[in-house]
């Protein structure tokens, strides 16, 4: 059997829930008293939400492409160098092949790709220019990056084969195959099968020169490589540079979702032990090219990391501006509604309705408009962004080689990237800003003079 106090509490609770349901019902009816004005407000808010979702998808797509180009195509997640190579591009500041073997044995979960670099002069039948020579091991490189798959024409054949003369149909002595950047191929008028002569100062002080055949042209991924890059195999580099032992750079691929900072510290510790053993065996750290340096892709590409951080800040700022402008329409709608219903509010106050109840009713009206706008905007924005993600916007007719932004070459087809998290964040931002904006006109109802309102 319930006590009187319990019954009283239940009665008040029933009255409270019933009163709230009544406010919810009245608020919903109120927003349709002027449907044209309400629909215009919903259109403005949902349109701003669509723009925000599309902008978010565009920034996320560009960020994904930046990260992909910075890690999957050329840089890798981590890289190892000697300090003297980082400071001065010292040709002799190398890691030994034995060091690479030790790292591979100690870290079976990681993939390593050795690289060597040099500068030289490239000559074709039509022209000559300075080039940056890069050497890779195709088998190991394919385990770390997609560099050798990033081809515009030809194939990634870096092996030695006979060179076919373009004009006389003669079979020349064998030569290594090389890949060249798109702009370099244009400058030297190189096509697939063209002969390319490279000349450079070898590691032993002699002049290294050899004839190569162009087997492929790489799509743009880095402005410098696109303009000057020649990619060859490690044996071809060793023959040209008379440099049998030594690696300038080791690119590393880590497992997905691995902690890069933790792996970086672990590798740095292993390399410090190797360096200590090398010094004990009689070498000096200076002669070896300084200490080992392990860097993450963000440290190697600080401009890309800064752009990613900036893009997220820009999204927040642009989102607040766009939604705030649309929320001005909400303020105008509520101001007009309160002005037109002043007499009605005066009567409600005179029959005993509390001022806070009118305030809640106004806020519920704004919440209804905001939720309706959020549903429409999220559905339309999500659908358009999903199409943007799958098909993108094709600029290949105007920009066949893509475009360069912050040192990164983007493909001519701009694609977005959208997720439910992005949509939810945009929706929550719109709801919060809209309800805050509605407080401005809603608080005016607390200052209403009942007698003047009735008149």
Dihedral angle sign, alpha carbons of residues 377, 378, 381, 387: negative
Q: How far apart are CA 198 and CA 210, in angstroms?
A: 6
Q: Phi and psi (nearest 5°) for 129?
A: -165, 160
pLDDT digits (tens, 9 = 90+) for 190-208: 988 888 999 999 888 888 8
The residue to which tokens 């800003």 are assigned = 433
Residue with tokens 């401009």: 303
Please determine, for residue 297, whether its predicted confidence score (pLDDT) is greater than 50: yes
Q: Which range (91-100, 105-114, 232-241, 277-286) has the least confidence?
A: 277-286
The answer to whether residue 378 scores a pLDDT higher than 70 is yes
DSSP of 129-194: EEEEEEEE-HHHHHHH--GGG-EEEE----SEEEEEPTTT--EEEEEEEEEEEHHHHHHTT--TT-
Give the DSSP H or E segment for 210.
strand 207-218
Quote the Cα angle for 238-114-254, to 5°.
175
**pLDDT surpassing 90 at residue 351:** no
Given a cut of 60, whether residue 402 has pLDDT beyond it is yes
State residue 405's pLDDT score. 66
Does an H or E element contain 294, and which? strand 292-296
Higher-pLDDT residue of 144 and 433 is 144
- pLDDT-derived band at 376 (thresholds 50, 70, 90) equals very high
Residue-wise pLDDT for 118-161, tens only, equals 999 999 888 899 999 999 999 999 999 988 988 888 888 888 77
Q: What is the pLDDT of residue 13?
A: 45
- Reduce the DSSP state of residue 25 to 3 states and report it: helix
**How distant is the alpha carbon of residue 292 from its chain centre?**
29
Distance between CA 346 and CA 348 in Å, rounded?
5
pLDDT surpasses 90 at 350: no
The answer to whether 212 and 196 are in contact (CB under 8 A) is yes
Mean pLDDT of 317-343: 81
Per-residue pLDDT band at 90 (split at 50, 70, 90): confident
Could you tell me what percent of the chain has a pLDDT over 90? Answer: 29
Residue 408: per-residue pLDDT? 67
pLDDT range class, residue 316, cuts 50, 70, 90? confident
Least confident interval from 65-69, 210-214, 335-339, 404-408: 404-408
Sign of CA dihedral 388, 394, 395, 401: positive
Distance, in Å, from the CA atom of 120 to the CA atom of 232, rounded to the nearest integer, reads 13
Radius of gyration of the chain (CA): 34
Determine the Cα–Cα distance for residues 56 and 428; give it in Å rounded to an integer.
14
The whole-number average pLDDT for the span 39-62 is 88
* Least confident residue range of 160-169, 208-217, 238-247, 263-272: 160-169
CA distance 410 to 56: 18
* Mean pLDDT of the region 283-303: 83
Residue 165 pLDDT level (bands cut at 50, 70, 90): low
pLDDT of residue 231: 94
Q: Does pLDDT of 228 surpass 70?
A: yes
């Amino acid at each position: 059997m319930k006590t009187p106090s319990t019954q009283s509490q239940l009665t008040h609770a029933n009255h409270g829930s019933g009163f709230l349901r009544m406010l919810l019902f009245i608020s919903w009816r109120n927003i349709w008293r002027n449907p044209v004005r309400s629909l215009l407000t919903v259109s403005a808010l949902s349109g701003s939400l669509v723009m925000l979702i599309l902008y978010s998808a565009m920034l996320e797509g560009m960020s994904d492409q930046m990260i992909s180009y910075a890690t999957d195509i050329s840089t890798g997640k981590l890289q190892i160098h000697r300090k003297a190579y980082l400071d001065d591009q010292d040709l002799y500041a190398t890691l030994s092949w034995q060091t690479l073997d030790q790292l591979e044995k100690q870290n079976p979960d990681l993939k390593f790709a050795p690289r060597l670099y040099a500068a030289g002069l490239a000559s074709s039948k039509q022209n000559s220019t300075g080039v940056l020579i890069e050497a890779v091991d195709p088998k190991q490189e394919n385990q770390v990056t997609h560099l050798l798959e990033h081809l515009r024409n030809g194939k990634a054949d870096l092996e030695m084969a006979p060179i076919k003369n373009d004009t006389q149909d003669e079979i020349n002595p064998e030569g290594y195959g090389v890949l060249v950047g798109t702009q370099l191929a244009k400058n030297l008028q190189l096509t697939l099968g063209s002969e390319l002569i490279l000349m450079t100062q070898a590691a032993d002080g002699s002049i290294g020169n050899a004839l190569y055949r162009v087997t492929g042209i790489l799509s743009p991924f880095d402005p410098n490589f696109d303009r000057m890059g020649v990619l060859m195999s490690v044996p071809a580099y060793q023959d040209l540079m008379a440099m049998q032992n030594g690696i300038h750079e080791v690119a590393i691929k880590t497992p997905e979702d691995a902690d890069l900072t933790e792996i970086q510290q672990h590798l740095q510790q292993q390399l410090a032990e190797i360096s200590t053993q090398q010094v004990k065996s009689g070498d000096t750290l200076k002669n070896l090219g300084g200490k080992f340096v392990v860097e993450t892709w963000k440290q190697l590409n600080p401009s890309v990391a800064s752009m990613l951080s900036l893009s997220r800040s820009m999204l927040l700022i642009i989102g607040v501006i766009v939604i705030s402008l649309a929320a001005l329409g909400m303020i105008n709608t509520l101001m007009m509604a309160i002005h037109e219903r002043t007499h009605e509010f005066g009567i409600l106050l005179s029959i005993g309705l509390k001022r806070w109840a009118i305030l809640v009713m106004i806020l519920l009206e704004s919440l209804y408009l905001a939720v309706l706008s959020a549903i429409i905007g999220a559905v339309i924005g999500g659908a358009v962004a999903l199409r943007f993600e799958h098909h993108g916007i094709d600029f290949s007719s105007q920009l066949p080689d893509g475009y360069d932004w912050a040192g990164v070459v983007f493909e001519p087809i701009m694609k977005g990237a959208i997720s439910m998290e992005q949509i939810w964040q945009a929706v929550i931002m719109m709801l919060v800003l809209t309800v805050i904006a509605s407080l401005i006109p809603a608080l005016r109802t607390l200052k209403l003079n009942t007698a003047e309102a009735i008149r």
